[in-house]
Structure 1
Amino acid sequence: MEIIIDFNQISSSPVAFAWWFFTTIGWIYPVFLLMYGLLLTWQNYIRNRYRRQRKYILLAIDVPKNNEQSPLAVENIFAQLAAAHQPLKFHDKWWKGEINDSFSFEIVSLGGYIQFIIHARDTFRDLIEAAIYAQYPDAEITEVEDYTQKWKIKFPNDQYDLFGTELKLAKSDVYPIITYKLFEDSLSQELKDPMAGLLEALTRIGPGEEIWVQFLITPANNDWGDKAKPIINRLVGAKDSGTKDLFSRVTNLFTYALDSLLTAPSETKAGASKEPPTQMLHLTPGKKDEVAAIEHKVNKIGYHTRIRFAYLAEKSKFFKEKASKGIYGSFKQFNDLGLNSLKPDSRYLTGGIVFMKERRLIWRKTKMLIRCRNRAHFMSPGEYGFILNTEELASLWHFPMMTVKAPLVKKTEAKRAEPPMTLPLERRRTHATPADTRPAAAKVEPPQNLPIPGLYG
């Protein structure tokens, strides 16, 4: 069968050529776009339906004043919370609309009073409490109201102003940041708690001012470290044996066949015997440490992470350097210029705008407030952020040690103790008494405006 296309009949008219192209193969492109658009619409619909079913709680965590636990205890907490990871199947994604659940580990300063808070789905409450009590038996966990829901304002606002941003990594997330293990003094063997800098910055505000620091984390798959293999191979000079696509395999096969034809067998053997498998022996000490740091990071449990902070205050008290310098400065102690560092993400920074400055600044402030209030509720796969392992997260968010003297951090006043074994127990009655026949008192609900303990100190 022979197909003959006569272009002479359509070359004289561009309209005729466009019509001919559309009726032959050009119709495939708009049909593909239509089907793709319908697929995305269906996916967004079922995901929003799933989101409406989720309910959240806010847990305030208070630890004893004489806390001697190092950040390793919080690292164990993050490792245990990885049990919330849920591998989703095709039916779960495209029929139920399920998406991965996230946690928000927060440190808030309300007028200078500091509180550690965890925001999560109510179904994870038992998991969170078990993980915390396992490491901090004397901790107090209290469900509190959401401190962000009272801020239902828009910008520009006559009374309040806002500064906020999100942080991102300067390099690929397989490169680690400085962790708490490097904050130990080599002489005194004392851990210089990196949380002290952040807590001191949070105490520098007063009434009418608030600072929110949020770490939105989502458990990552266990194979998240596979993307480090090409980087390690490049650093040590090894051949990349990673998974390749079909085009790369065909190209490599053609190159190998061509080299085999143009190269003599003796030359091939001689060249192969002289080439070392890696250049590890010839690396500088800095490069060796870089490879070891990458391997150490990817061998631990990872979380997709988004870090954001916001500073809200009355305009008469607003001083954005309290956040842009004080809060961000506390994160710079985790930066390693040879490995990785945290820096503001210009896409979310409420500043540094040149073109259409006023309109874009108003839009970014409003969006930042909405993001802080919603946490990870509307995040979809692909928006969960870069990956930090449990050691890095525990370095950034952990309960202060007893050496930290920040006075306005909410802590428990005393340790809980078990009752003595010799305490006499009340004997069980086997018959009814006149007191048992009295009608039970009616239960009275507490007032709605009752202050919640543990949030404001």
Structure 2
Amino acid sequence: MQLGFIPPEIWSGFSLAFKYTYAWLPIWLPAVFIVSAFRAWVRYNQTKFWQKEGSVLLEIKLPREITKSPLAMEVVLGAFHQGGGETTWIDRIWKGKTRSWFSLEIVSLGGNVRFFIWTQLKHRNNIEAQIYSQYPEVEIYEVEDYAKPFYYNKNVNQIWAAEFALTKPDPYPIKTYVDYGLDKDPKEEFKIDPITPMIEFLGSITEGHNICIQILIRAHKKRRLFDLFGEKEDSWTDEAKKQKDEIIEKLKVAKEEGGFPRIPSKGESDIIASLERSISKFPFDCGIRAIYIADKDKFNPANIGGVLGSVKQYSSLNLNGFKPAGWFTDFNYPWQEWFGKKEKLMPRALEEYKLRRYFYSPWRGKKYHISKPFVLNVEELATIYHFPGSIASTPTFERVPSLKSKAPSNLPI
């Protein structure tokens, strides 16, 4: 049978494709089934492993004064570079072990700005020790998950959620605290802290609006097939070398074409230096997502622009920056919302956030759920997540009201 409105050559192509697909059915169908069953079995083992490990959410309450630069947070985050736990294929496949991952969270609940760290239970003592070693004045508490009360009901509230990606290849660094001069420890009144625009925006929203920013990290390692088998090349360092070689090659071409040897421009020299500095520090696989939830009568689309604008200060034209990608709940065309896709994606986005699930998400790589990790080094992470000093004077930014100090040595016993 041939449909009259389909040209014969196209119909012939369809028929041939169907013929070969059907002929090879006994081969490809079992293969697809085996791969799917294997992945499901591995995920089952991983889920059992995660449940056994347990997790905890820590809230960090900051003092009124923090004089240390983000370098202190860089030291803290260095302890998060935990690459063990999945050494052999038996660990990865049979036991379901995975690399430890962490979630660094900056949250505004009705304008009340708070800092959280989510971790597996076994890392709690180490994390607390590292934070206290650099910030002895802070207070750390185990708390209930602030996201637990969040829910989605299309008749009651509305959710906007998005993920972020880098604007250039991973080795290109974003603007870090070093670029803002914070490594030189300027006086508080002269500091330009790139995290303050985000804190100020989060502190400006009103009651009934909740904005949560989640930075999920794990130690970066060489890539594996299906994240399970073998070790392939380290694309991060290889890409950095490739970018450097391209710049150097341009200089060579100018000489080979009969021109004078060209020295690198200021911009090219800066890029080469930035790439070299970037790959000299601990790398982390990262995923950044943001979620905004409010009642339908209060939901303000302007807050979406505020979220996207609060990360602009980390971007530069010749290096790297952040852009929205992997959108959960926004569509460009109305037909993309047909069949209730948007209504399905909103609760799914909220579920992903609550579970702190990213690197091993079943939705990873699916349409509207890109969840593709990128690499940031520890300096970049310390730039986008650190404890600001008094330069961040947002009224709704809760701080511990008093400083801690040792008791006088001459007190009677």
TM-score grouping bracket, smaller chain normalisation: 0.7 to 0.9
Root-mean-square deviation (CA, aligned residues, Å) is: 3.1
Paired position in structure 2 for 1:314: 295
Q: 1:389 to 1:280 in 2, by over 3 A?
A: farther
1:218 maps to 2:221: no
Q: Secondary structure at the match of 1:344?
A: strand
Q: 1:28 to 1:315 in 2, by over 3 A?
A: closer
Q: 1:328 aligns with which of 305, 308, 321?
A: 308
Q: Which runs of 4+ in 1 moved over 6 A?
A: none
Q: Distance in 1 between matches of 2:126 and 2:70?
A: 19
Please report how far the alpha carbon of residue 219 of structure 1 lies from its aligned counterpart in structure 2 after TM superposition. 1.3
1:234 maps to 2:222: no
Q: Secondary structure at the match of 1:98?
A: coil
One-letter identity of the residue aligned with 2:168: K
Paired position in structure 2 for 1:64: 63
One-letter identity of the residue aligned with 1:235: I
Please report how far the alpha carbon of residue 217 of structure 1 lies from its aligned counterpart in structure 2 after TM superposition. 0.9
Gap regions ≥5 residues in structure 1: 1-13, 239-273, 426-457
One-letter identity of the residue aligned with 1:339: L
Paired position in structure 2 for 1:129: 128
Q: Distance in 2 between matches of 1:349 and 1:72?
A: 36
One-letter identity of the residue aligned with 1:198: M
Paired position in structure 2 for 1:418: 406
Please report how far the alpha carbon of residue 404 of structure 1 lies from its aligned counterpart in structure 2 after TM superposition. 1.8
Paired position in structure 1 for 2:231: none
1:375 maps to 2:387: no
Please report how far the alpha carbon of residue 346 of structure 1 lies from its aligned counterpart in structure 2 after TM superposition. 4.5
Please report how far the alpha carbon of residue 26 of structure 1 lies from its aligned counterpart in structure 2 after TM superposition. 8.3
Please report how far the alpha carbon of residue 143 of structure 1 lies from its aligned counterpart in structure 2 after TM superposition. 0.9
> Does the 8 A contact of 1:304 with 1:384 survive in 2?
no
Please report how far the alpha carbon of residue 330 of structure 1 lies from its aligned counterpart in structure 2 after TM superposition. 1.3
> Does the 8 A contact of 1:51 with 1:377 survive in 2?
no
Paired position in structure 1 for 2:177: 180
One-letter identity of the residue aligned with 1:328: L
> Does the 8 A contact of 1:108 with 1:211 survive in 2?
yes
Gap regions ≥5 residues in structure 2: 1-14, 223-233, 366-370
Please report how far the alpha carbon of residue 29 of structure 1 lies from its aligned counterpart in structure 2 after TM superposition. 4.3
Question: 1:153-174: CA deviations, max 9, x gaps?
Answer: 34x2x22111221111112111
Question: 1:73-108: CA deviations, max 9, x gaps?
Answer: 111111122146545311101110111221111111
One-letter identity of the residue aligned with 1:206: T
Q: 1:318 to 1:373 in 2, by over 3 A?
A: same
Paired position in structure 2 for 1:92: 91
> Does the 8 A contact of 1:353 with 1:361 survive in 2?
no
Please report how far the alpha carbon of residue 65 of structure 1 lies from its aligned counterpart in structure 2 after TM superposition. 0.6
Please report how far the alpha carbon of residue 368 of structure 1 lies from its aligned counterpart in structure 2 after TM superposition. 1.6
290-299 vs 342-351, greater mean Cα deviation: 342-351
Please report how far the alpha carbon of residue 45 of structure 1 lies from its aligned counterpart in structure 2 after TM superposition. 2.3
Q: Distance in 2 between matches of 1:163 and 1:97?
A: 33
Q: Secondary structure at the match of 1:82?
A: coil
Match runs of 1:378-417 below 5 Å: 379=360, 385-417=373-405
Please report how far the alpha carbon of residue 416 of structure 1 lies from its aligned counterpart in structure 2 after TM superposition. 1.8
Match runs of 1:56-455 below 5 Å: 56-83=55-82, 85-154=84-153, 156=154, 158-184=155-181, 190-221=190-221, 224-237=236-249, 281-322=262-303, 324-357=304-337, 359-376=340-357, 379=360, 385-425=373-413
One-letter identity of the residue aligned with 1:67: I
Q: Distance in 2 between matches of 1:89 and 1:135?
A: 35
Work out the number of aligned pairs and report it.
367
> Does the 8 A contact of 2:85 with 2:91 survive in 1?
no
Q: 1:182 to 1:378 in 2, by over 3 A?
A: closer
One-letter identity of the residue aligned with 2:242: P
TM-score scaled to structure 1, two decimals?
Answer: 0.73
Q: Distance in 2 between matches of 1:145 and 1:135?
A: 25
> Does the 8 A contact of 2:152 with 2:346 survive in 1?
no
Paired position in structure 2 for 1:269: none
Q: Distance in 1 between matches of 2:31 and 2:209?
A: 52
Over the matched positions of the two proteins, sequence identity in percent amounts to: 30
Please report how far the alpha carbon of residue 32 of structure 1 lies from its aligned counterpart in structure 2 after TM superposition. 3.7
Match runs of 1:11-50 below 5 Å: 28-50=27-49
Please report how far the alpha carbon of residue 295 of structure 1 lies from its aligned counterpart in structure 2 after TM superposition. 1.4
> Does the 8 A contact of 1:177 with 1:334 survive in 2?
yes
Q: Distance in 1 between matches of 2:204 and 2:35?
A: 51
Please report how far the alpha carbon of residue 387 of structure 1 lies from its aligned counterpart in structure 2 after TM superposition. 0.6
> Does the 8 A contact of 1:353 with 1:360 survive in 2?
no
Q: 1:191 to 1:225 in 2, by over 3 A?
A: farther
Q: Max radius of gyration: which structure?
A: 1
Q: 1:82 to 1:35 in 2, by over 3 A?
A: same
Question: 1:304-362: CA deviations, max 9, x gaps?
Answer: 1111111111222210211x211211101111121212111154353434323262322
Q: 1:384 to 1:126 in 2, by over 3 A?
A: farther
One-letter identity of the residue aligned with 2:78: A
Please report how far the alpha carbon of residue 423 of structure 1 lies from its aligned counterpart in structure 2 after TM superposition. 3.9
Q: Distance in 1 between matches of 2:170 and 2:315?
A: 13
Q: Distance in 1 between matches of 2:75 and 2:359?
A: 28
